[in-house]
Structure 1
C-alpha cells in the first residue's frame, strides 16, 4: 500500500514550505525581475501560506494577519533571506519584531520606525486621565505633598499639651461643636476618622478610603455632604498648590503644629464651611 503526503506546492512542484524550497523560490523571483512578485502565481500562493502561518502571531499582538504578511514580504525580497541557512527562520524573526513594533507604535501613538528605537519603546502607553477612577494627583508621585512635620518623633516644647494627639482630637471635636455640630455626631465621626488615619498612615489614603465608606457614614448618621466636608477639613486637600495652606494641611495637622482653636476660629472660610454643613442645619433648612 502506498501512502501519499500532501505539501504546499504550486503546480510546477515548488515546495516553498521547506527552507530549501523557499530559498529556491526567492532566488527565482529575484532573478525574474521587478514584476515577478506581482504576476507570478506561486508568489501569490506563498503570500496566502504566510498569512495562514503568521495569523496566530499577528493576533497575539492585536494585528491583522495581512499586516504580518506585509512584513514577511519585505524581508523575503532581501538578500539576507535568500542567502540564509534557514530562510523561514529569518522571515519569522523579522515578522515577530515587526509585530512587536507595530503593537508598541499603536500603543505609543507613534510610527513603527520610532517604536523600534529603545529610547522610545521604553515609555508606557499614554493614558487618558478619565480612564482612572482617582484623579492624577492621588497616585502620581510628582503631585504628592509631604507634611513638613511628618518625621517629627518628639513634640516641640512650645506646642505643649495642644500638640498631643489626644489634645488635637479633642480640640477638633470642640471646634465642630462650637460651629453647630451636635456632640453625638461630631465626636464619633471625628474619632472614627482619627482611628482610620492611625491605621492607614496617610491622609490622602484615609480620605479616599472613608469617602467611599457608606456603611460607616450610615452608622455614624452623617449626611453625605456633611461627611465629605468633615473629611476634607480634617485631613486637608491633597491637590497640588494647597500643601502649604491651612486648607491643604487640614484641621488635625494644624492643631498638631501649634495652631490653637482661636486661630482656627479666625479662619472665616473654615468656619463658614463647617457651620453651613452641620447636620442639624441641613435638616432645619430641608
Structure 2
C-alpha cells in the first residue's frame, strides 16, 4: 500500500501577496514565531540582500537595514498595506537617513528624525578641514582697533568704549626703536627696520596684510643686512602673531599696538617672552 504525501510549497515572500501572507501567519502564530520559524530567517536574509545598496549608500551595514525592515514588518501597517514591500522599503529608507544623520549630528536616531535637530549640519572637528576654521570663519576674525578713534559724549565720560590714544604714532615708533636698541640691536638696523615696517603698515591698512607682504620682502632684508630669523622676529615683535586666534593676546597685538593703547616701554621689557625673542634674534655684524 502506497501513501501519498503532499509537499507544501515554500512561501514566496518576494512578492507583495506572499509577504502579506507570511506576515499574517507569523502574527497569528504569536510570540516566538519570528525566532523559530525557518521561513522568517530566510526572509531576513533576503531583506539584508535587498537593502544592501541602500544601507551602504548611507554608510550602514546591510543588517542594520534588515533590522529596520524587521521592525516595520511586525506592524499592522505592513500586514494590511496594498503594497507591503513598498511600505517596508519606505520605512527602511527613512531609518537609514535618520541613522546617518544621527551619526553625523552625534545624537540619537530618534532626535535625528525631528526637524528641529536634522536642520543642523554634521558635527565637525577643527582638524577635519584642510584650512583651519580660524582662518576664514567670521566668528574667529578680530579687527584691529582704530588708534585714532576716540569716544565722545556720555560713554567717554563714563569711561566706556575703546581705550583712548595715549601716544602718537611717531612716539610709538621711537619707543619701539629704543626698545630694540636696548635689547642689543644695532641702532641703524632697528631704526631702518621699524620705519620700513611702519610705512608698509600705513599702506596696507591692517597688520595681517602688512605682515603677509613684509614676510616675503627679500629686498628689505637685503637693505637691512639681516637674516631670516632676525627679520621674522622683527615682524612678529612689531606687528604681533599673524594668527587671528592670538589677536586679543599680548603676543597677537605686537609692540606698536601695545604702545598705542597705553602700555609703557618698561611694561614691554617685563614681557619675558617678547624680550627673549628680540634678544635672541638680534643681528650680528655681517647679517648673521
Q: TM-score, normalised by structure 2?
A: 0.64
Q: 2:62 aligns with which of 38, 62, 65?
A: 65
Shift of the alpha carbon at 1:77?
0.8
C-alpha distance in structure 2 between counterparts of 1:118 and 1:282, whole Å: 69
> 1:3-46 deviations in whole A, cap 9, x for unaligned?
xxxxxxxx725332232332232222222322332233322222
C-alpha distance in structure 1 between counterparts of 2:16 and 2:83, whole Å: 6
Counterpart of 2:275? 272
1:44 paired with 2:41, answer yes
Counterpart of 1:34? 31
Which aligned pairs between 1:103-114 and structure 2 lie closer than 5 A? 103-114=100-111
**Higher mean displacement: 178-187 or 66-75:** 178-187
Match of 1:110, SS state, is coil
Task: After the TM superposition, list the runs of 4 or more consecutive aligned residues in structure 1 that deviate by more than 6 angstroms.
Answer: 133-136, 167-170
Distance 1:191 1:34, change over 3 A: same
1:250 paired with 2:254, answer yes
Contact conserved, 2:236 with 2:254, CA < 8 A, in 1? no
Match of 1:88, SS state, is helix
Shift of the alpha carbon at 1:259?
6.5
C-alpha distance in structure 1 between counterparts of 2:286 and 2:266, whole Å: 24
Counterpart of 1:227? 232
- The alignment of Structure 1 onto Structure 2 pairs a total of residues equal to 256
Shift of the alpha carbon at 1:51?
0.9
Distance 1:148 1:185, change over 3 A: closer
Contact conserved, 2:233 with 2:277, CA < 8 A, in 1? no
Distance 1:30 1:217, change over 3 A: farther
1:100 paired with 2:102, answer no
Contact conserved, 1:176 with 1:274, CA < 8 A, in 2? no
Shift of the alpha carbon at 1:205?
7.1
C-alpha distance in structure 1 between counterparts of 2:93 and 2:209, whole Å: 43
> 1:96-152 deviations in whole A, cap 9, x for unaligned?
121122222223333322332333334444444555677775555545434332896
Q: Which runs of 5+ in 2 are unaligned?
A: 1-7, 150-163
